[in-house]
Chain A
Amino acid sequence: MDVAGAAVVREFIRPATVGDTPQEILDLMGWDAELAERAGMPTYPCLIDREHVVAELYGIVNVPTAVWIDEAGRIVRPPEPAGMGDGFRAMDTTTFEMPAEAAADNKRRRRIYVDALRDWIAKGVRSEHALAPEEIQRRMAGPTRREALADAHFRVGAHLHRRGRPGAARPHLEEAVRLRPESWSFRRQSIVLSDPALTGQVAATPEYWQAVMSLGDGHYYAPIEMRGMPPPFRR
């Protein structure tokens, strides 16, 4: 991540009251005043992962993605969208305004996810949301050969880019996206590497929205297998 990227993260984690946040952002994040009031101060470490190490280790393909890890270092929930759904795809791409039903769906998902997280924190292994190792193994199938090959191309592309050879990096980054189109991490990182001025701006580019719209009936965020979570949002 470059300096500008770090500044974006600092801005994101800065404690802020709901009143300081535009309604469009609240709708997008599924956040509301009550959830904000229950939030604690951000005392957690914020780590910089320039080379997508965690994404590769855990098979993370989009953000925000979360993993729950218990006191013994075991995964109790695999990588999954942290309460996010596809309601954002109904937003106006110029004003970022969302239809009421899409905003409500986002808030509902976020609320269910946060409540489940709090339940696990309070109950530990007795929480219904803490999954057994067998279920973790079922949900974390590991990369297929195609996905692992995409990771290798992405690694080579990122390396060449860091060495100041963007022209040589581009074919590898494009091949990574082609082999693993479900990885919005590859797609968005590749756009930024091609044009660093787009850092923090990718989600407002026509290229990005064209890719989102081309999903058709496909998912942007994978459905969350969690009790009470509604089926995927459809317009």
Chain B
Amino acid sequence: MGETCVPIPAGKHWIDERAERIDLAAFAGYLGQPAVADAANGVWGFGPATSPAVLLSAEAPDFTLPDLDGKMHTLADYRGKKVLLYSWASW
């Protein structure tokens, strides 16, 4: 899903500066994202924020994906044109 830069407010109890560790579950809660921890398999997963930015602006969330030949396409590159975003599947 790419990278996101998040300002970390001071004094949050989920930051252990001495041990240089972050409580991921609490951090996910701060972002408004649910977290799933699978300790047995060493995997964490974050869900999407429950208050996405699209609610404020109706701006289409951007993404970059490959086509069948591996060439990357970014939605924002189609500014200036109408876009019909049509999803299909191979199931």
Contacts and interface: CB of A to CB of B under 8 A. Distances in A.
Contacts of A6: 68, 90
Interface string A22-53: 00000000000000000000001111110001
Q: How large is the interface on B (under 10, 10 to 19, 20 to 34, 35 or more residues)?
A: 35 or more
A58 B48 CA distance: 10
Interface string A46-81: 111100011111101001111111111111100000
Interface stretch (B5-13, B14-22, B29-37): B29-37
Contacts of B35: 152
Which size class do A's interface residues fall under? 35 or more
A160 B41 contact: yes
A70 to B, nearest CB: 6
A218 interface: no
A100 interface: no
Given A47-B67, A74-B57, A199 B1 contact: no
Interface in A128-161: 133, 136-137, 140-145, 148-153, 155-156, 159-160
B58 A137 contact: yes
Interface of B: 1, 33-36, 38, 40-41, 43-52, 54-61, 63, 65-68, 71, 73, 75-76, 78-91
Given A4-B90, A54-B87, 14 more contacts: A6-B90, A12-B88, A44-B84, A45-B67, A56-B1, A67-B60, A69-B78, A69-B85, A70-B82, A73-B59, A74-B60, A148-B49, A152-B36, A160-B41
